[in-house]
Amino acid sequence: MTDAVVLVGGKGTRLGKLTNEVPKPMISFHGEPFLEYLLIQIAVLPFERIFLIGGYLIDQIRERFDGRYINGVEVLVIEDLDCTGTLNALRFLPCSLSEKFYLFNGDTYFNFTDITSEVERFFVNTENCSIYAVFVDDSSRYGLLDVDKNLVVGFHEKSSGAQQGYINSGISVLHRGVVEKAIELGGKSLERDLYPALSKQKSLLLIKSAIKNVYDFGVPEAHENFPSFLSNTISGGFLLCDRDNTLNSDPGYVYDPDQSELCIENILAIKKLCSDRRLIVVSNQSGIERGYFSEKQSNIFYRYLKLKLLRQNLTSWGYYYCPHKPDKLSNPICQCRKPNIGLFNQVSRCWNVEKNKSIMAGDSGTDRMFAIRAGIDFCYFNCK
Ligand SMILES: [Mg+2]
Ligand SMILES: [Zn+2]
């Protein structure tokens, strides 16, 4: 298992008034906080958990994210009680943190360009820590990395001119043992203490960008341009897809990964539909409220499924589910059980679903009705 850690402690002082009452990652774009969009990008990989760690106005972040699941990944909020630096903050992570973990900047947006190769990398174990680097034509807003083959051997301060070169994307892969040792030695900051020390020891690997669009909105002009950049990224065609008996075989209220397999013929067709659409899973999971399995178990099952799909070169961008029983008397207000379109509305909060390019795929009349009500085409699948 591998966890992700996101540093959400940035005060965003360069943004002035914007961050007086709101922590920087909670600044809203198109009605949702920045962090929501970032976590969607992070949760594409099959992480088990995402830890959000910060101090400044952390209660707002806790209220919104703690205990949620995003694309099957559990999100947990941790308070940095010291606020003395990005390295020191990591001491507050639980000892159950995975030995290898990914670290993300909570104020830097990115896209993985080649998720298949990211997934391969995800399962490769090396002893060394590494930094994801991005090649830029104009590094004036960033500090350049000194690169020697596959190693980062030095760091430069922000340059004044427009130089070409590799910059730190804000993503790194770290090892708990290395981090603990650096904290023991009195290190406080990743950028000033840990990374320079590792690069001196020639043990900081460079990962050449399988990512693009590194976007730090920490300065006012970047903040102004971000909404239109984001619109492009979140708009397009979607394949909303039922789960049970469409993607995986369904023995009934399935939650045990050993009891279900991929519907492999369906997967081939779904892959075709996803050549120009993003896959998002929308599922009725009344087994949760019936007490057959927990929300956590439902998400664990989905994570197995997500991983199997990734291995088929199919990326799932979300898992949206209704946990409620269909009984209208006990749940008069549930809008999320298909064929109601609450799940469609949930998806639409962070994605601009272009209806004329989007399709619902499923095995039942309920899915078909959902498609009609949402105003998108329907494609019938059945797992045989
Ligand atoms: Mg189904
Ligand atoms: Zn519901």
- Report d(CA 29, CA 32) in Å as an integer: 5
Using alpha carbons, select from 46, 29, 91 the residue that is nearest to residue 38: 29
| DSSP 3-state percent helix, strand, coil across the chain (nearest 5) | 35, 30, 40
Which ligand approaches the C-alpha of residue 346 most closely?
Answer: 2
- C-alpha dihedral over 268, 269, 270, 271, to 10 degrees? 50
> From CA 249, how far away is CA 319, in angstroms rounded?
17
Q: What pLDDT, on a 0 to 100 scale, did the predictor assign at position 12?
A: 66
Nearest bound ligand to CA 324?
Answer: 2
Alpha carbon of 352 to ligand 1 centroid (Å): 25
CA of 363 to the centre of ligand 1 (A): 5
Ligand 1 centroid to 355 CA: how many Å?
22
Ligand 1 centroid, distance to 289 Cα (angstroms): 18
Among 186, 214, 234, the domain boundary falls at 234
Residue ending a domain, choose from 234, 265, 289:
234
SS3 of 342, please?
helix
**Domain identity same for 156 and 296:** no
| Distance between Cα 339 and ligand 2 center (Å) | 10
Query: Which sign, positive or negative, has the C-alpha torsion 219, 221, 223, 229?
Result: negative
Q: Do 133 and 10 share a structural domain? A: yes
Residue 326 phi, psi (nearest 5): -75, -15
pLDDT value of residue 287: 96
For position 251, which CATH number holds? 3.40.50.1000
Pair 273, 185 in one domain: no
Question: How remote is the CA of residue 300 from the centroid of ligand 1, in Å?
Answer: 18
Does 377 qualify as catalytic in the annotation? no
Are 271 and 154 members of one domain? no
Name the domain count of the chain.
2
Q: C-alpha angle with apex 243: 109 to 379, nearest 5 degrees?
A: 95
Domain span holding position 53: 3-234
Q: From the candidates 107, 242, 363, 367, which is the catalytic residue?
A: 242
Q: How far is the CA of 323 from the centre of ligand 2 (A)?
A: 6
Same-domain status, 135 and 243:
no
Cα–Cα distance between 24 and 275 in angstroms, integer?
Answer: 35
Q: Which of 272, 38, 308, 312 is nearest to 170 (CA)?
A: 38
Query: Which ligand is in closest contact with the Cα of 327?
Result: 2
- Distance CA(371)–CA(204), nearest Å, equals 49
Between CA 218 and CA 15 the distance in angstroms is 6
Task: Specify whether 229 is located in the same domain as 305.
Answer: no
User: Is 15 in the same domain as 58?
Assistant: yes
- CATH at residue 107: 3.90.550.10
Same domain, 110 and 193: yes
What confidence score (pLDDT) does residue 140 get?
75
Cα–Cα separations (whole angstroms), residue 221 to 158, 224, 226: 17, 5, 9
How many angstroms is it from 331 CA to the middle of ligand 2?
A: 8
Nearest C-alpha neighbor of 274 from the set 297, 247, 248, 299: 247
Residues by chain with Cβ below 5 Å of ion ligand 1: 242, 244-245, 363
Ligand having the closest approach to the CA of 252: 1
Q: Which ligand is nearest to the CA of 260?
A: 1
- Of 3, 193, 244, 363, the catalytic one is 244
Checking DSSP bridges between strand 69-70 and strand 73-79, what pairing results, if any? antiparallel
Residue 242: active-site member: yes
Kindly identify the ligand whose nearest atom is closest to the C-alpha of 289.
Answer: 2
Considering the domain architecture, whether residues 199 and 54 belong to the same structural domain is answered as yes
CA-based R_g, the chain, Å? 22
119 sits in which H/E element: helix 115-122
First vs last C-alpha separation in the chain: 32
CA of 383 to the centre of ligand 1 (A): 9
Do 32 and 171 lie in one domain? The reply is: yes
Q: Are 227 and 248 in a shared domain?
A: no
Residues 151 and 72 grouped into a single domain: yes
* Closest CA relative to residue 186, chosen from 78, 87, 81: 87
Buried b vs exposed e over 238-253: b needs ≥16 C-beta within 10 Å? bbbbbbbbbbbbbeeb
CB–CB of 370/342 below 8 Å? no
Contact indicator for 216, 105 with CB cutoff of 8 Å: yes
Which of 168, 89, 102 is closest to 135 using CA atoms? 168
Task: Count Cα neighbours of 41 within 13 Å in the Cβ-side half-sphere.
Answer: 25
Q: Where are the alpha helices (DSSP H) in 235-282?
A: 264-273
CB 302 within 8 Å of CB 310: no
Write out the chain's pLDDT in tens, 384 residues. 999 999 998 776 677 777 778 898 999 999 999 999 999 999 999 999 999 999 989 999 999 999 999 999 999 999 999 999 999 999 999 999 999 999 999 988 988 888 988 999 999 988 899 999 988 888 777 788 999 989 999 988 776 677 888 988 889 999 999 999 999 999 999 999 999 999 999 999 999 866 766 777 777 777 788 899 899 999 999 999 999 999 999 999 999 999 999 999 999 999 999 999 999 999 999 999 999 999 999 999 999 999 999 999 999 999 999 999 887 666 667 899 999 999 999 999 999 999 999 999 999 999 999 999 999 999 999 987
Tell me which of 234, 266, 293 is where a domain ends.
234
Q: Which two tokens stand for residue 138?
A: 């104009």
pLDDT (0 to 100) of residue 161: 72
pTM reported for the whole predicted model: 0.95
Q: How far is CA 378 from the centre of its chain?
A: 28
Q: How far is the CA of 243 from the centre of ligand 1 (A)?
A: 6
